Amino acid sequence: MASMRTKCAFWDKCYRKNKVHLRDYIHPGDKDEKDESKDDNDVDMKDVSGAGDGQKRKVHEISDDEDEVMGSSKTKKQKTDSPAASSSTAASSLTSAAAASSSSTDLPTIKFKSKKEKCKYWLKCFRKEQKHLLEFWHPGDDIPDEVEEIVDKKTRGKAKELLNALMDGQTVEFDSGFKLKRMGDNYSCSCTSWVSSSDPIAERTCKHLMEYNGEDFEKSRITVAKPKKTVIRSHINVSLLLAHKYDEKVNDPTGWWMSEKLDGVRAFWNGNCFYSRLGNCFIAPQWFTKDLPKDLHLDGELFGGRGKFQSTVKIVKNQECDDWKKVKYHVFDAPNLEKKPFEERYSSLREFFDAESPQYAVLCEQTKCKGKEHIQEEMKKILKLHGEGLMIRQPKSKYERSRSKTLLKIKKFHDAEARVIGYKPGTGRFHNAVGALLVEMANGKQFHVGSGLTDADRRKPPKKGTIITYKFQEYTNSGTPRFPSYIGIRIDMTEPKDVILPPKPTDD
């Protein structure tokens, strides 16, 4: 009994010639089932001659396993280059705004003859579809003389402007059967390349759009549509120039460069993002960094104003905080020009700031020091403004990515007294000693002080109730000393004493 055959899904477009496929599927021109069964044994692989060079190109080879898969999986979606099938898929991919356009039915369809290109498979090509033959040259084709010389070159138009006009809602039909359509600022094509693309509608293109609109226009169109992706690493290795303390008895500042020591957050700009000394990123709003250089690294301070350290820290930890407008990036060096002397590095920075005038960045002013008295005069001015101190740089010094004596810091500390009321256990090598003293101020506020304690102090700390002297820079917003450091026991006092500082500027 003869088996029941089914109609081939590709019908007249089927190019497969193996016996198993012809036996199981009906094709146009087949004889009745009896005659067909007789002819099955005569079907074999065929070779198609090349164009005048004696070479042969194989029609195709598909295993019997593939036939079994096709026969048993009728529900699978078949890919096809059919313009009609591709067009229906493309239509479903368009945006709702594009689909709602009603003007397209009133516009005439443009007939467009595609410029043929050389088929990349050339002698090995087996495709016989009419639309493929219309789009590509093959061996044996009657190629015109004026085209023959450039058949191996791309023929897509190149122009910064749109090559061929296409109105909103209008359609272009290629002689190969594929259709282009414009919907607003978006263009679609019924070809498989455009329909199967995983890119968003606005970012898709294909060879037909390249040919009709122009290659440069298409590249520009999809580039504008693509959002710029900036990859920001959350952590990088950062090596910056760090300062030693200034010693008036040892250092002669004459001829050195002076600038104010800013009470802000140290920040390294790598052309893409801000990073702390530890390599952690500070992601600033795009409008804050848009004027900063991409090819010049910067070393500076995110500064929100004198006496506003804590509020500045809070701001720079918040990526989209509108309070970034209260902060400016004060730049004082260029790390990637490390081999050049400071004067040349500063000159390069000056050229950039003069040319670009970034809105949220400032170049720190440098003043030539005339001597120790000059240092004292500048310190008085800065402290009167509630500043932190001075930084001085050795002339003609290079940018060393470590702590260097070519950069010195000069800070003014305040001394005060507090009472010891407890201890904080030590860790690490101090695990059997005191880590910090718990002390109480005259106003009743408590804090820990560990900096300044020697190993002997940690092994045998001051007794509870003892009055100690400590130094610090300023008071925090909570009223406790910032960066307290232990000095020693105050034997001539029995009660703690606080330092009264001038009121700090407000954040408003």
Express each pLDDT in 234-250 by its tens digit.
889 999 999 999 988 89
CATH number at residue 261: 3.30.470.30
pLDDT at 98 over 60: no
Which of these three, 379, 410, 441, is where a domain ends? Answer: 410
Six-digit token string for 253: 């500042």
Let me know whether 451 and 312 are in one domain.
Answer: no
Residue 124 lies in a domain: no
Whole-angstrom distance, CA of residue 344 vs CA of residue 491: 53
Query: What pLDDT score does 52 carry?
Result: 43
Q: Is residue 471 located within the same domain as residue 398?
A: no
* Same domain for 248 and 110: no
Q: Domain of 169?
A: 83-115+156-225
| Closest of 233, 210, 235, 211 to residue 221, by C-alpha | 210
Whether residue 281 sits in one domain with residue 325: yes
What confidence tens digit (pLDDT) does each residue in 357-372 have? 999 999 999 999 999 9
The mean pLDDT value for 44-59 works out to: 43
Residue 464 lies in a domain: yes
Q: Is residue 399 part of a domain?
A: yes
Mean pLDDT computed over 433-442: 96
More confident residue, 322 or 75: 322
Same domain for 317 and 302: yes
Among 182, 200, 225, the domain-final residue is 225
Task: Give me the amino acid identity at 475.
Answer: Y
Q: Which pLDDT score is estimated for 69? A: 38
pLDDT of residue 85: 46
From residue 371, how far is each of 20, 215, 366, 377, 389 by CA, in Å? Answer: 100, 67, 15, 10, 16
Q: Which two tokens stand for residue 472?
A: 């610090």
Place of tokens 């085209």: 147
Strands 414-425 and 257-261: unpaired
- Indicate the pairing of strand 281-282 with strand 274-275: antiparallel
Q: Is residue 351 part of a domain?
A: yes
Whether residue 297 is found in the same domain as residue 388: yes
Position 130 confidence tier, pLDDT thresholds 50, 70, 90:
confident
Confidence of residue 221 (pLDDT cuts 50, 70, 90): confident
Calculate ∠ Cα 10-12-14, nearest 5°. Answer: 50
Does residue 141 fall inside a structural domain?
Answer: no
Q: What is the pLDDT of residue 358?
A: 96
Does any domain span residue 502? Answer: no
CA 331 distance to own-chain centroid = 23
Residue 280, SS3 per DSSP: strand
pLDDT tens-digit profile of 80-95?
A: 444 444 444 444 545 4
Question: Does the active-site annotation cover 261?
Answer: yes
Residue 470: inside a domain: yes
354 and 403 share one domain = yes
Q: Are residues 196 and 250 in the same domain?
A: no
Which of 261, 308, 328, 471 is catalytic? The answer is: 261
pLDDT tier, 449 (very low <50, low <70, confident <90, very high otherwise): very high
| Judgement on whether residues 331 and 221 belong to the same structural domain of the protein | no
300 and 352 fall within a common domain:
yes
Average model confidence (pLDDT) across the chain: 80
Whether 172 maps to a domain, the answer reads yes
pLDDT band at 288 (very low <50, low <70, confident <90, very high): very high
pLDDT of residue 20: 79
For the chain, what is the domain count? 4
368/485 same-domain check: no
pTM score, whole prediction: 0.49
Domain end point (choices 385, 410, 435): 410
pLDDT greater at residue 136 or residue 281: 281
Q: Residue 141's pLDDT band (boundaries 50, 70, 90)?
A: confident
Judge if 274 and 406 occupy the same domain: yes
